[in-house]
Every structure is written in C-alpha cells, then in structure tokens.
C-alpha cells in the first residue's frame, strides 16, 4: 500500500508536463538546493564545529532541508542514473551520519547549541520532524542503492526515539509538534521489517490530543494553540481538518498509512472523513490547501480567499501524499480526482519551469499592486530562510510516476494517463498521447501477461469512450474500466476523454467567489496573466456564462501547452479620481487564459483565476 521508491524503475514518464520537470529537477533543482545548503551553512552544520560568534548558526529545522535533498537525490537516481550525483550523495550521507551521537541521536542544533534541551519543547522545536525526514532519506537511499549505512544509522536513531517515547513506565508521553515522523516510521518499518517502528508511528498518532494533554501539562503550551498542532482532541475524534496545513497533511498521510497497515476500519474511516472535509469544504480549485498566512493554516469551512490565499507548496505536496495513500488503500476514484487536481495545478505552480525559483505560497490572484507579506511573494524566489518548499520539490518531482500509476505484479492501475512506459518482469505497457491537453490516450501491451488492468475515467469528463482492440467496451460506474485477462503482446486499449473548456463555479457558501467563475479544461485550471492580456485590469475581467472558447498554442510556454481565447469584458486603467459617481466603463475584449501551474514563467505579471460572470 505504501509508495515504494523501488517501483520508480518500473515507471518512466514520457509526457510533455511531468517528464521535463523531472529532468529539470535532476539537472537544476537538486544541484541548486545542494549549493544553497552549502552557502547557508546547512551542510557545514553537520561538522558540529559551530561556536558562538560564528556565522550561520544551525537552526532547529535545517536538518530537514538537507534530508529532503538527500531523499530527492536518491529518488532521482532511480530514473536518471548519474554516477557523479551518486558519488556526491554518498559524500553528503557520510557527512550527515558523522554527526550522529553514540546514543543514536542526530540533530545539529541540539548537539552544538542547546545541548541540555533535547526533547524539552516538542511542540515547537522540530526534533521529531527532522528525524522523520532523515529516516525518509535513509529509506530512499537504501531503495535506490541497496546500501545500508544510512538506513542502519537511522534505525539506531529510531531505536533511540523508541526508547524514549511511549506509554511504558518511564517514557515520555509526548509526540511531535510538527508531524512527519509518523509516515517516516511506516517507511522505515517496510524497509527493515521491524514492527516496533510501526507501533511507534501508531503511538504518535493515537496519543496526540489525548488528556492530560502533553503539550499543556509537560510543556506549558497554551491550549489556544493546540488546534494549530492538531492536538486539541484525539485524532479519532477529529471531524474537521484544522491548524497548520502542512502538519495536518503529513499527520493524515501517516494516519492513512497506519490504517492500511493495521487494517483498522475505524482509523480508515477517520482518514476518509478528514480527507472529505478537506476537499469538499477547505480546498482551492487549484488543489491548494491552507487559506491564511497566520499560522500557515486552515481556518473554517468555505473560507477560501483568493488574493490572500496561502496554499503553501508543501501543503499541496502533503495533500497529494494523503490522497495517494487513500487511493491505494481503497481504490476509490475520488482520491485520484483530487490527486490529479493537485499535480496539474498547485503541485507545479510553486516551482518555475527552469527549476531554480519557487513560490512558498500560491495565491489565486495577484494584481499589479500586490503587497508582499510573510512568505507570500509576487514573484518566485531563489531561496527562503525557511526553505521547506524548494527542498520538498527535490523529492516530490522524481516520484510523479508513482502518482500516475500503481504497477503490482498481478495488476496495473492507471490513475493519470500521462505518456509513460511501465515495465515489470510480468508485463510491459506503453501509454501514449498528449494528456492533459489531448484526451486521446493509447495503452499498448508491449509484453503480454496475466494481470488486471484498470484505467481511470476522471470525474470531470462528461463524455468518454474506451476501445479494446478497436471495439467499444462498457465502463462500470466506479470510475475505472477494469479487465482481468491474459493480455497478448500487441493488445491495445484506447481511452478517449472529451476535453471541453468549462466555466466552473464555487459553492455559493464561498464568499470570495460568489458571482465569479473559473475556467478549467480537463484537470487543468486556467488563469488570466497580464503577459497575455496587456493593458487590462485583470481583476475587472468579466466572462460570459457560456463563452465560446478557441484553443491556440500558448506563447512562450512549453510546446503542446494550450491557451484558451474567449470574448469578455474588462476595464482599462485610467487616471481618474480614487472615488467618483461614474461607474467604470467596461468594454469588450478578447481574453487569453493559460494554465495556472505555468503562470509567471515569462516575467513578472499579474494573475487572476476567478472572474466576474456577466
């Protein structure tokens, strides 16, 4: 059930959207993040030589940034074997595990600075969070290379943590303030076979928010802040997704892992309940989550402002992880629908096509006079003091193939029909086409075998057709076409999805979007960008309820990208008084929309997703 990097070798993306991002990650993003970690002292911190007065004081979360880069390097090696990168990876791993203490502890900040404060502030100080990322990196390295030194080092760390935390007498009844270690321990369990790690993960999930509350009684943390840490009540009792969005998504991804591993129906129901609250009441049309910069958090149902949206890149990645786990456990199409929405929109908007600049937050609206605040910038940045998002892309992008298909020995489930090659000892399949800009997809059996093939029919698709060796076949109503048979080499399935631009309305309970609509074609959400619409106040743009759309190649964006042209209305800028009695003068204009994920790759610009409906 758990995503396994060893399957990366089985799935090779060949499409025009994801595959180029993977190559850019390998060539640019990962080397760039390594360089930034060197320049900012993140790597040097593992030498444990810092002393008072030196620059680049090791921060409490720096270890996690390095860990994510190492994890990304390992995952990337599976799809882009690179001896030079592998050599650099081994050097960095030696540097990291060289900082491990005799008892197994590994944290640069608390080894050289607050040496007497280990585990004294779990709600704020990120020790368990950093440990989790190091464990994930170790598992990824082991799965990529088969070498155990990093894995064994992180097992020693996990054993040390297991000796400290739990319900046994003498142990701390604590849990992480920033969740992440929960899903990492499940990965470590799979890589090692040591069930104690699964039990420790379950403890961290189940203990959270119980009474007496550890954060309140042991660390004097104010009760008012518990919701931001998802610690205001036991997880099984939570019905709404609250607090810090990234923390919540990582926690619930770990919750889903544990529900699947332990076959706990009540825990699975809890995970599904929280997922549905997220996507039915608190998710943006782009797949973004987290509607406020204050606490980087969820607020309440239907509170989804556009210009003030936070929609952190890491939170979108976290939602993808959560959705993928529930999809693999249940096989329900609803999770693939959300996963696809994230991947083609907010999941990619946070990183430039060049792979060297990043959005931390991803608002749905950016006007010409946007006021930058917190981590919400009007243009992508090369780096941040808190650079969780750039380093997260290092490890997220190599795994895009695992989000598109699940290839087991006796079954193949294609969730997102991007062009790809899927090769296993038991069978080989080639998926061709130009999805998501063209709805005709070919699925050809390159090596026959006895297995079940399932192909998803997206919920956004109003009309579709499936042909098996040229003959139409029926589709069930569960969102998948499935056929179990002895497939012959040369067999071919043709999936035809009608891609039609649509005007999409938010639930009327979303105050920010009442009287407005967005444009979507297939899974791709579109936006107006001032680059394509010069001289127009984008926030004044109006769209007809039933516009006529024309497709054309998007200018200055990757080959195959489709732009949408339609007639609308807008106000042109003027030098009039700030207030007056004359209404704005609207005029007919041709508007051009491009995929939101690709905005601001042609220079700084204004952007608008939701348009007034005339």
Positive or negative CA dihedral for 459, 465, 470, 472?
A: positive
DSSP string, 443-503: EEEEE-EEEEEEEE--TT-SSEEEEETTEE----TTSEEEEEEEEPTT-EEEEEE---EEE
Identify whether 314 is a catalytic site residue: no
CB 585 within 8 A of CB 571: yes
Residues 2 and 607: their CA atoms lie apart, in Å, by: 37
Which phi-psi region, left, alpha or beta, contains residue 479 (left: φ > 0; alpha: ψ -120 to 50)? left
Comparing CA positions, the residue from 528, 554, 545 lying closest to residue 613 is 545
CB 506 within 8 A of CB 285: yes
Comparing CA positions, the residue from 20, 128, 148, 19 lying closest to residue 67 is 128
Which pair of tokens denotes residue 198? Answer: 């699964």
DSSP string, 125-191: S-HHHHHHHHHHHHHHHHHHH---HHHHHHHHHHHHHHHHBSSSTTSB----SS--HHHHHHHHHHH
Active-site position among 127, 180, 296, 334: 296
How many CA atoms are closer than 13 Å to the CA of 153, on its beta-carbon side?
24
Active-site position among 388, 394, 527, 592: 388
The b-or-e profile of 510-537 (16+ CB within 10 A means b, else e) is bebbeebbbbbbbbbbbbbbbbbbeebb
Which phi-psi region, left, alpha or beta, contains residue 106 (left: φ > 0; alpha: ψ -120 to 50)? beta
Identify whether 388 is a catalytic site residue: yes
DSSP, res 42: T
Q: Which residues are catalytic?
A: 296, 388
């Amino acid at each position: 059930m758990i995503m396994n990097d060893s399957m990366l070798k089985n799935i090779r993306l060949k499409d025009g959207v994801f595959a180029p991002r993977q190559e850019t990650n390998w060539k640019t993003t990962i080397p760039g993040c390594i360089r930034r970690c060197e320049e900012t002292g993140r790597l040097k911190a593992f030498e444990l030589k810092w002393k008072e007065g030196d620059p680049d004081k090791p921060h409490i979360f720096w270890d996690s940034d390095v860990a994510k880069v190492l994890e990304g390097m390992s995952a990337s090696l599976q799809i882009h074997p690179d001896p030079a990168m592998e050599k650099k990876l081994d050097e960095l791993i030696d540097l990291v595990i060289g900082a491990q203490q005799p008892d197994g502890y590994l944290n640069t900040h608390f080894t050289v600075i607050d040496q007497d404060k280990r585990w004294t502030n779990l709600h704020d100080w990120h020790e368990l969070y950093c440990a989790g990322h190091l464990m994930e990196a170790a598992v990824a390295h082991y799965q990529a290379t088969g070498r155990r030194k990093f894995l064994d080092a992180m097992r020693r760390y996990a054993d040390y943590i297991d000796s400290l935390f739990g319900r046994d007498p003498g142990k701390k009844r604590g849990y992480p303030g920033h969740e992440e270690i929960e899903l990492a321990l499940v990965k470590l369990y799979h890589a090692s076979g040591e069930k104690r790690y699964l039990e420790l993960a379950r403890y961290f999930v189940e203990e959270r928010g119980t009474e007496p509350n550890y954060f309140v009684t042991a660390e004097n943390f104010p009760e008012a802040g518990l919701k931001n840490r998802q610690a205001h009540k036991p997880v099984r009792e939570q019905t709404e997704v609250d607090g810090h969005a990234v923390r919540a998504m990582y926690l619930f991804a770990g919750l889903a892992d544990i529900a699947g591993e332990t076959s706990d129906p009540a825990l699975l129901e809890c995970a599904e309940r929280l997922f549905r609250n997220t996507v039915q009441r608190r998710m943006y049309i782009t797949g973004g989550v987290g509607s406020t910069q204050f606490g980087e958090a969820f607020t309440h149902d239907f509170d989804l402002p556009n210009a003030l949206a936070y929609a952190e890149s890491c939170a979108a990645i976290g939602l993808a992880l959560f959705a993928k786990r529930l999809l693999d456990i249940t096989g329900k199409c609803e999770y693939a629908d959300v996963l696809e929405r994230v991947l083609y929109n907010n999941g990619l908007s946070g990183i430039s096509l060049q792979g060297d600049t990043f959005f931390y937050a991803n608002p749905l609206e950016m006007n010409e006079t946007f006021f930058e605040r917190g981590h919400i910038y009007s243009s992508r940045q090369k780096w941040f003091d808190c650079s969780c998002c750039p380093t997260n892309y290092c490890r997220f992008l190599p795994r895009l193939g695992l989000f598109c298909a699940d290839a087991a020995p006796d079954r193949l489930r294609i969730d997102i029909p991007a062009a790809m090659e899927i090769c296993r000892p038991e069978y080989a399949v080639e998926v061709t086409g130009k999805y998501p800009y063209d709805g005709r997809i070919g699925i050809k059996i390159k090596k026959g075998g006895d297995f079940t093939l399932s192909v998803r029919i997206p919920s956004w698709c109003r009309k579709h057709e499936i042909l098996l060796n040229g003959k139409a076949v029926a589709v069930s109503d569960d969102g998948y076409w499935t056929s179990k048979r002895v497939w012959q080499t040369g067999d071919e399935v043709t999936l035809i999805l009608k891609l039609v631009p649509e005007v999409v309305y938010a639930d009327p309970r979303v105050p920010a979007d009442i009287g407005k609509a967005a444009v979507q074609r297939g899974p791709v959400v579109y936006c107006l960008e001032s680059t394509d619409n010069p001289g127009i106040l984008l926030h004044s743009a109006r769209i007809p309820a039933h516009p006529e759309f024309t497709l054309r190649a998007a200018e200055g964006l990757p080959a195959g990208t489709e732009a949408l042209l339609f007639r609308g209305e807008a106000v042109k800028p003027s030098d009039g008084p700030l207030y007056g009695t004359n209404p704005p003068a609207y005029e007919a204009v041709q508007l051009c929309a491009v995929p939101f994920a690709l905005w601001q790759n042609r220079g700084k610009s204004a952007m608008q997703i939701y348009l007034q409906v005339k």
